[in-house]
A and B are shown apart, each in its own frame.
Chain A
């Protein structure tokens, strides 16, 4: 077992009231899981992801990574953000090398190069983020996350800042990297509000209820890859997930 989320609850408190965001979440993540967490907006799915990577603490419950309580700086877990979160004053290559420096990897240049090439960013090494299209910026996000060679990759709505066609392209290329056994990670957890995207990407979907978020369903998607969005079977799965959300 790679990851265990055990009895996780989260409450936000303001002066006048308490809001229960997540209510007793339990599930485990195994090697080769590509999990999409879906649910209506406000169901706490991004909060859950932040708790899973250790960026936020739950009020009760725990997250275990390979049997040990998760730490926020766990180098085996990487994160991709919706808004790319790259440093505008650093070039593509410097953005990637920076995370490697913090891990004290002596061969940081070589590793950065490897992952720049893997995501198709070669030629863009010395370019500043302001000169990049959204698709290229998110490729930097992927390269930076993969460069730490994580066991678990967490992604929070990684395609939702992109236009529809670019998003299509990046989903397919990310799945190519996922299919490549020589590339990290061993497991992916991705948060999305888009059911079709979840059925296209995941081999397992966890559905959260409207606030407070509870696990309403945890299902395996038994669709062959590569998947075709025009396939009637694909739509049966999309319908099935929708029927559990609505």
Chain B
């Protein structure tokens, strides 16, 4: 699979900009508005699509109903919406299931990297790890302890 290298802040920033254009915008114009190359804005667009917050059709990006809900919400409620969206991404759901099957709901970073490597074939596994942890921490799903180099489930119900 392809996993987008964009942080949650970048994705929400993108949605806010599309919202200013009435909820639909030409991708090339959007990139130009931010002084970005198309390939610099694509990860955020892919991220918004993967989270079900935008659809891309014929060169236009359009907000979904959930994206509008997210943008109308305050900072606390945005986090709740993002949590549901992140939890429904296949790879993250599988990672959560894997953590649930562990005695203490945690695995080593090394194991996590192997897990990610199986899903995303990339030489740059560390930066994908950072992005996945950025998403799951923001969503309150999975944390990472850099002292013990372990990732763990943040909510411990099975």
Contacts and interface: CB of A to CB of B under 8 A. Distances in A.
A127 B35 CA distance: 32
Interface in B2-54: 6-7, 9-14, 16-17, 20-22, 34-36, 41, 44
B20 A166 contact: no
B137 interface: yes
Interface residues of B, number: 35
Contact of A120 (B21, B22, B79): B79
Nearest to B78: A120
Interface stretch (A130-138, A203-211, A215-223): A130-138
Chain A interface size, as a band, is 20 to 34
A176 interface: yes
Contacts of B59: none
Contacts of A168: 13-14, 16-17, 34
Given A133-B9, A166-B13, A126 B20 contact: no
Contact of A176 (B22, B34, B74, B143): B74
Main secondary structure of the interface of A (DSSP, over half): helix
Contacts of B137: 123-124, 127
B145 interface: yes
Contacts of A131: 130, 133, 144, 146
Interface in B62-107: 74-76, 78-79
A72 B3 CA distance: 47
B138 A164 contact: no
Contact of B21 (A123, A130, A173, A230): A230
B75 A165 contact: no
A168 to B, nearest CB: 4
B117 interface: no
A118 interface: yes
Interface of A: 117-120, 122-124, 126-128, 130-131, 133, 135-136, 163-170, 172-173, 176-177, 180, 228-230
Interface of B: 6-7, 9-14, 16-17, 20-22, 34-36, 41, 44, 74-76, 78-79, 130, 133-134, 137-140, 143-146, 154
18 contacts: A118-B75, A120-B138, A122-B79, A123-B137, A123-B138, A123-B154, A131-B146, A165-B13, A165-B17, A165-B34, A166-B9, A166-B10, A168-B13, A168-B17, A169-B9, A172-B13, A230-B21, A230-B22
